[in-house]
Chains A and B, each alone.
Chain A
Amino acid sequence: MIGSVPGANLWLPKPALQGLIDRLRELGYEVVGPRVADGAVTLGEITSLAELPAGVQDEQEPGRYRLKVIESGGYFDHVVGPHSLKPFLFPPRTTVLQVLRVRDSWEAHSPEPPRPKRAVIGVRSCDLHALAIQDRVFLGSTHRDPEYAARREGLFLVAVNCGRSAATCFCVSMDTGPAVTGGADLILTELPDGFVVRVGTEAGGSTLAGLGCQECSPTVLAEAELVPKRAAAQQTRRINPATVHDTLMNNLQHPRWDDVAKRCLSCANCTMVCPTCFCSTVNEVTDLTGEQTTRERVWESCFNEEHSWTGSGAVHPTTKSRYRQWLTHKLATWIDQFGSSGCVGCGRCITWCPVGIDLTEEVAAMEGERK
């Protein structure tokens, strides 16, 4: 009998991962995992191991993302793609209020949010940290976000320790990876013929029964420990979390803001791919008869002029003021607001910026000037 209590490490032969997918589906979960779509590794529903991006590696550079396939590569050789957990908990479009005209008045009710049961396979350490950050945003203050709360309850997380870093990753410096330290139901480390599974929660442990898990030998465990260390050793980018707050807040008039404003297109891509960005706007959607109105909450970005609109114009009317709002929030004022950085070092904003703006470089430029 193999113990599957939290903290236990078990050996799962590669094909047995299909058993885990089947088990989760039997338990009523929609199983979501990485697969290749539109030239990127994105997250979507999967039913079979064959859908996982076996051998697919992503080359990421500022403004650049390419996939290549490696013979006999693993299922999780890729790093993070444009998707994160964010859209599953904080959907890009959602209804917050429905209003019906009833005689000479209106009846307004906020619909019960859906409570999907969803299991996500292949979640990385940076994204688990991003989830913890969004938990603080959406659940941590007086007013909890009802939609996020409902979706969060049904989430089952199968994390994976990264064995590679992309050139854009800087989680090591942000202390958010690559080794998963918690926050998941199960944590996988991929080796050539199987996975070391660390049990994260009791719910996680109970899904393993009957899947053919075996005991882990000390050699296998030692080999698994090297996997995230290998990824960590590959990272070259960094931000110093101890100094970045003051670097930015003491340099709000630094010429570098003008410099980056000349390159930035204010396209908002960075905020869309960021796993922690949470801005939204509510739009009024009325049917043709005018009898029914839906208030829809959609993702919004501080790079849009309307974001800061007031009667006397936009508070952030220029690209400079918008980029500065974004970066100071992400790396500085977020700490004042929520006790942690708003950045987990996933590098998505660097990769998916059409002009390759790299926040680590922007910070470095301002750090340098301070000396």
Chain B
Amino acid sequence: MTSPPANPWQVMMTTVRAVTTETPGVQTYDLTFDDAAVTYSFLPGQFNMLYLPGVGESALSVSSDPGDSTKLRHTVRVVGNVTRAMARLRSGDKLGVRGPFGTAWPVDDVRGKDVIVAAGGLGLAPLRPAIYHFIRHRSDYGRVTVLYGARTPEDLLFANEYDVWCAAGLDVQSTVDIGTHDWHGSIGFVTTLLARLTLDPARTTVFTCGPEVMMRFIAAGAVGRGVSASQVFVSLERNMNCAVGLCGHCQFGPTFVCKDGPVVTFDRVRQLLLVENF
């Protein structure tokens, strides 16, 4: 892992190599570092602060393969100022990067276990590095199941990769909230996919990312099926400015989401997630 820079505010410049539209309002940016001396590596689930001079910074998870150091990819939904300006970037444009920051999906600790990756909407982006890791090290893990839900079929992220993931030995199941006439797959929330799954609670770990309510239902569902709350990992989202625990914005009770998270065990946050507006 790269050691933290002496100055947490220092930005590294990158060049945008490709911009791919994934789904309406969601783009993936392929980046390379301008300074050849930069040795960048990250762990699945970690994030960077991406910076557009004159516009601002945003916290964005890395969505690429941690085993391939030639590629740094971010998958970003247009929300407001920074992400809207990013959507205008073209190949050759510059983007600043600080990172990587935060905790990771504990892929090394769960070797030998069955893993359920449960994602909702854009929550698949921070989980994709973990999926790539499982594929690279397939024999180190038991059953790996990807449960994914999006609003409509056209919102399904990375849809052209599911066959590759299946071929690599993963069980990939997707569902949509609202079907279309040409959709023959499952309709309903991702929680229903989990409910249908047979699982061995003692050897199962869950990684989940998506809207907070969805994560709560997935986590509660898994715990209800006997999975330990310390084996359910959620990825939290809060406002962030510094990404290193100095600005105060991302606090969730005792947790600084930027440095104690974003990936935390469900048992750490279970009670507080139930308190409205906490």
- Are both chains from one complex? yes
Q: List 12 A-B contacts (CB under 8 A).
A: A97-B11, A105-B34, A106-B13, A106-B53, A106-B96, A110-B7, A138-B246, A141-B259, A143-B246, A278-B248, A284-B53, A310-B239
User: Once the chains are docked, how many angstroms separate the CA of A348 from the CA of B150?
Assistant: 50
Set of chain A residues within 8 Å of B254, measured between Cβ atoms: 333, 336-337
Please tell me which one of the listed residues B92, B259, B276, B278 contacts residue A142 in the complex, with CB atoms under 8 A apart. B259
Q: Which residues in B have some Cβ–Cβ distance to A below 8 Å?
A: 4, 6-11, 13, 34, 51, 53-57, 77, 79-80, 92, 94, 96, 211, 237-239, 241-242, 244-249, 251, 253-254, 256, 259, 272, 275-278
Q: Pick out which of these stretches binds chain B: A39-47, A74-82, A187-195, A301-309.
A: A301-309
A300 touches B4 (CB 8 A): no
**Least Cβ–Cβ distance between A338 and chain B, in angstroms:** 10
A284 touches B241 (CB 8 A): no
Q: Taking CB as reference atom, which chain A residue is nearest B11?
A: A108
A329 touches B11 (CB 8 A): no
A105 touches B13 (CB 8 A): yes
B9 touches A97 (CB 8 A): yes
A284 touches B54 (CB 8 A): yes
Q: Pick out which of these stretches binds chain B: A25-33, A165-173, A205-213, A314-322.
A: A314-322
A282 CB within 8 Å of chain B: yes
Given A318-B277, A337-B254; A106-B244 close (CB under 8 Å): no
**Least Cβ–Cβ distance between B41 and chain A, in angstroms:** 17
A66 CB within 8 Å of chain B: no
Task: Apart from A145-B8, A315-B239, list 17 A-B contacts with CB within 8 A.
Answer: A96-B9, A106-B96, A108-B53, A146-B7, A252-B272, A280-B247, A290-B54, A307-B239, A307-B249, A315-B238, A315-B277, A316-B277, A321-B276, A324-B278, A333-B253, A333-B254, A337-B256
Fill in one digit per residue for A149-175: 1 if any B CB lies within 8 Å of its CB, else 0.
000000000000000000000000000
Set of chain A residues within 8 Å of B242, measured between Cβ atoms: 280, 282
Q: Which residues in A have some Cβ–Cβ distance to B below 8 Å?
A: 96-97, 99, 101, 104-110, 137-138, 141-143, 145-146, 249, 252-253, 278-282, 284, 286, 290, 293, 295, 300, 302, 306-312, 315-318, 320-321, 324-325, 328-329, 333, 336-337
User: Once the chains are docked, how many angstroms separate the CA of A307 from the CA of B240?
Assistant: 9
Set of chain A residues within 8 Å of B53, measured between Cβ atoms: 99, 101, 106, 108, 284, 286, 293
**Least Cβ–Cβ distance between B260 and chain A, in angstroms:** 9
Set of chain A residues within 8 Å of B249, measured between Cβ atoms: 279, 281, 300, 307-308
**Least Cβ–Cβ distance between B237 and chain A, in angstroms:** 6
A106 touches B246 (CB 8 A): no
Given A97-B9, A106-B13, A143-B8; A333-B246 close (CB under 8 Å): no
Set of chain A residues within 8 Å of B253, measured between Cβ atoms: 249, 328, 333, 336
Set of chain B residues within 8 Å of A312, measured between Cβ atoms: 211
